[in-house]
Structure 1
Amino acid sequence: MRWLVILLGGLALAQAVATPGWVRLVPPVVKDTTAYLTLENRGKTPLRLVGGETEVAERVSIHVDYRETRGGQVVLGMRPLAYLDIPPGGRVEFRPGKYHLMLEGLKRPLKAGEKVTLVLKFQDGGRLKVILPVEMR
């Protein structure tokens, strides 16, 4: 498996590794999309992911999908998270139906095959730059 990651400062520099992931291709009129990857903490202390940034969207936030029963009906949705902890030696999968990064307020339509650069931000000030392809899945 190839690892595509550029590390930028802070404790995350020595600890965080991201596996290649992808950004969901959405129709041009849709202003939000999702990004998926796996983050691994190779360090001995917890990492706290607190958000991110990208040039293609106004905001990058962490969300989790949920499924619950209300009044006998199954309700699906998603909730924003202020942060996400990655334990020492642990990993967190961002995948459909679980955690994902929301790219909110797209500044332009994305194209299949283009590369999107995300900079993930950690509480300790560390930053992790990842480059993800836009794909229709």
Structure 2
Amino acid sequence: MRRLLPIFLLFLPAWGQVVAEPGWVRLLPPVVRDTAAYLTLENRGRTAVRLLGAETEVAERVSLHRDHREHRGGHTVLGMRPLPYVEIPPGGRVAFRPGGYHLMLEGLKRPLKAGERVEIALLFQGGLKLKVTLPVEMR
């Protein structure tokens, strides 16, 4: 046990480094198979943290996205781009909100209901996992 203790202590600073503020999952009609989840993540640590993805039991997969706008030929084109990660700077915050970063819950396994709570495990570089529970809301 003596040999494991110093290694274990190396991982203690990561605990509590990332804090999630309340968020929500968008309620959509039952025929829509994808939806978005929103929340704010705060990095209380001294080093940057990378969110690599997430998982939930209500969807086949969860991916990181960011909305974007392009101007082409005098028209504004709106869309989303998948991201390999989202970096949260030391002492910084990243808001996942409509029109910006969001978690795409893709391939819903069943229709979600207003007021239901969805558990999502956020997966960070280095193996840190943060579980959040978000209400399903129509906004």
TM-score, length basis structure 1 = 0.91
Q: How does 1:88-103 map to 2 (within 5 A)?
A: 88-103=90-105
Seen in structure 2, the aligned counterparts of structure 1 residues 87 and 12 have a Cα distance that, compared at 3 Å, is: same
8 A Cα contact 1:11 1:124, kept in partner: no
Which amino acid counterpart does residue 94 of structure 1 have in structure 2? F
- Secondary structure of the residue aligned to 1:96 is coil
Q: For CA contacts below 8 A with separation 6 or more, give which structure has more relative contact order.
A: 1
Return closer, same or farther for 1:52/1:71 CA change in 2, 3 Å cut-off: same
1:101 is displaced (CA, Å) by 0.3
Partner of 2:114: 112
Structure with bigger gyration radius: 2
Query: Gaps (5+ residues) in structure 1?
Result: 1-8
Aligned equivalent of 1:129: 131
2: distance between equivalents of 1:125 and 1:12?
A: 10
Corresponding residue of 2:39: 37
In structure 1, distance between residues paired with 2:118 and 2:125: 23
Residue from 17, 20, 34 that aligns with 2:19: 17
Q: CA deviation at 1:13?
A: 2.2
Aligned-pair CA distance for 1:14:
2.6
Kept in 2, the 8 Å contact 1:121–1:127? The answer is yes
Q: Give the helix-richer structure, 1 or 2.
A: 2
Matched pairs, number: 129
Percent sequence identity is 73
- Unaligned stretches of 5+ residues in structure 2: 1-10
**TM-score, scaled relative to structure 2:** 0.90
